[in-house]
Amino acid sequence: MFVEAQWRLPGSSVVAGTLRPIEDYVKRIDVAERPVVLAGPGAARESAVDGLRRFAERASVGVLNTWGAKGVFDWRSRHHLATVGLQAWDFERGGLADADLIITSGLDEHEVLADWQLAPVVDVPPPSLALLAEHIAPRERDIAVPPLRAELASVTQAGWERTDAPLPPTKVTQHYSQVLGDGGLVAADPGTAGYWVARTFATQHLGGVHVTANRDHRGFAVVCCMVARQTDPHRPVLAVVDAIDDATALALETATRLGVTVPVEVWSDDGEGLGADAHLARLRKLVRDGGQATIATDPSQLDEMLEVAGPIVAWTR
C-alpha cells in the first residue's frame, strides 16, 4: 500500500513527491515525540474527516485547523488545539515551534501565509488519512494546550461576559453559535466580520461555518447561504459582511430571483449598537424572517487579539 510522499524540512521545498509505502509514514510518525497535525480544508471533506479524527485519536495528537477546516473537531475536543492562519503568530504560538514533526493534510496556500514550517513536515494526502489511521500504533500521551488556544479563549470568553452596547465581537459570534450552531450555517466575506467569525465562532459541527480564503470573493457569504438554502430550504443561514457592496447586492438579487431568502447582518462602524438581549432577539427574527440588519461592535477587543497572535495576515495574498 502506497501514498504520495511529500516530506519537507524547515525552509526547504518538497524533498520527495513519489509514492512511498504506508510503512514509511508510520515509521516517521511513530518515532516522533511531539507531533502536531495541521489540517486544511482538504481534510475537512466528508471523505477525509473521519480518517483525520481516527488518526488523531489513535496517535493521541492535537490538531491545528486552518479556518477552512473549522469543524473537523468540536471546539471542546481534547484534539482541537486552535484555528490558525489568520494572524502572524498563529503557527508559532499554536505549538508548531515546539513540535518535532508537523503532519499536514489538505492545506490551502491562501490560509497559510505566515511562517508555519517550523519543524520537519510530512504531508499526508486527505484520502490517505483513513489508511494511515488503520496502520498507526495506538498511543497514550498528554496533548499539550498551546499558548494560542489558552489566550485566545481568555479574550473570547471575557467578551462573552459583556452584555452592554456596543457588544464585543466575540459576544456577537457567540450569538451566531447559539442561534445557528445546531445544523445552521454562518458564512462570511473577507474583512472584519470574516475575521471574527473565522477566529471565534465556536464550531461544533462540520460545515456550520464558511469563510472564504480568497480576498477577491466578495459576495461569497450570500452565495454560500443561497446554495445551502437551495439544497435545504429550511436550513437556518446567515450571511455576515462588512458592507452591501456591488458583488453582495448582485448575489442578493440573484437569490431573490430564485425565490431564496438570505438574511444578512452587516458589521459597520455606523451600525446599530445593541445590548446582548436586543441583539439576540433581533438575530433570531432575522434568521427566521430574512432581511438585512446592521451591528456596531466594540473595536477595542481587536487590540487584545493582536497582543495574543500578532498582525492579521488573512487575505493579504
The answer to whether position 309 is within a domain reads no
CA 79 – CA 102 distance, rounded (Å):
15
Determine the pLDDT at residue 42: 95
pLDDT tens, 18-46? 456 778 888 899 999 999 999 999 999 88
Instruction: Give the pLDDT confidence score for residue 204 in this predicted structure.
Output: 84
Residue 234 C-alpha cell reads as 429550511
Of 237, 239, 238, the residue nearest 220 (C-alpha): 239
Same domain as 121, residue 188: no
pLDDT of residue 230: 94
CB atoms within 10 A of CB 77: 16
Give the strand pairing for 121-123 and 6-8: antiparallel
pLDDT of 201 reads 95
Residue 156 domain flag: no
Domain end among 116, 144, 172: 144
Question: Which is nearest to 273 in space by CA: 297, 249, 308, 307?
Answer: 297
- Give the separation between CA 126 and CA 105, rounded to whole angstroms: 6
Q: Find the domain containing 285 and state its range.
A: 163-297
pTM above 0.85, yes or no: yes
pLDDT score of 62: 97
pLDDT reported for residue 46? 80
State whether 172 and 139 are in the same domain. Answer: no
Same domain, 42 and 137: yes
Check which CATH number belongs to the domain holding 186 and give it: 3.40.50.970
What pLDDT shows up at residue 317?
84
Domain assignment of residue 313, yes or no:
no
From first to last of its 317 residues, what are the pLDDT tens digits of the chain? 545 545 453 443 343 444 567 788 888 999 999 999 999 999 998 889 999 999 999 999 999 999 999 999 998 999 999 999 999 999 999 999 999 999 999 999 999 999 999 999 999 999 899 999 999 989 998 998 999 999 999 999 999 999 999 999 999 999 999 999 889 999 999 999 999 999 999 988 899 999 999 999 999 999 999 999 999 999 999 999 999 999 999 999 999 999 999 999 999 999 999 999 999 999 999 999 999 999 999 999 999 999 999 999 999 98
Shared-domain flag, residues 140 and 179: no
**Which CATH number characterizes residue 18's domain?**
3.40.50.1220
3-class DSSP state for residue 292?
strand
Number of domains in the chain: 2
What integer pLDDT is reported at residue 281 of this predicted model?
98
Residue 103 lies in a domain: yes
pLDDT given for residue 81 in this prediction: 96
